[in-house]
Amino acid sequence: MASDAWISSSMPYLRPAEGGRGDAWGQEAAARGRRGTQRVLHAGEVSAPAVVARLLGLEDGDTVVVRRRIMYLDEEPCELTDSYYPADIAAGTGLAGTAKIRGGAVALLAELGHVGRQVREDVTARMPDVEERELLRTGAEEPMLCLERVVLDEADRAIQADLITMPAQRQRLRYELRMG
């Protein structure tokens, strides 16, 4: 593993950004003396791909809201993140637009009455497709880590699903679990 690999924990992305300003990615990067930015590639209503329907407990093709972003660390692309929300939660809200969301998407979800209480993540690896290589500026032989995340509220309803693609050699995922 490269010695400059980014060590990431999911926890900052599961609760509103501290102070209600900025976003979790920018705050996490700044805390390490780096600059984390993002660009929204697309936002709006789409038909749920099969994996998203499965994660959100919907039927294939049901309408969902997506925010597709490319994340940058010190101006270098480091992650593709597609966040999906059930349409009955997100349609007509800032989640369906390309503008920055004050405090981040998790803060807006909380304002709308949807607070995450449980998260499930699955991590796999695969080779990138052409679009991923171009957006992340990687070679054809550089594997990707793919993280599927679903956030559930206190009623066990899925309120958010994330599909995240990252160059494996630039990442180290960290999981810390409290026992008991």
CA-CA-CA-CA dihedral for 125, 12, 72, 171, to nearest 10? -30
pTM of the model: 0.85
Residue-level length of the chain: 180
Residue 10 has pLDDT above 60, yes or no: no
Residue 90 has pLDDT above 60, yes or no: yes
Give the whole-angstrom CA distance, residue 156 versus residue 165: 26
Are the C-beta atoms of 12 and 29 separated by less than 8 Å? no
Among 68, 79, 19, smallest CA distance to 45 is for 68
Give the pLDDT of residue 13.
53
Give the whole-angstrom CA distance, residue 76 versus residue 86: 31
Give the whole-angstrom CA distance, residue 16 versus residue 1: 31
| Host H or E run for residue 98 | none
- Region of 143 please: left (phi>0), alpha (psi -120 to 50) or beta: beta
Q: In what order do the strands lie in the sheet with 76-86?
A: 36-47, 63-73, 76-86, 158-167, 144-152, 118-126
Give the pLDDT of residue 18.
53
Residue 132 has pLDDT above 50, yes or no: yes
pLDDT digits (tens, 9 = 90+) for 17-75: 555 555 777 777 778 888 888 899 999 999 999 999 999 999 999 999 999 999 999 99
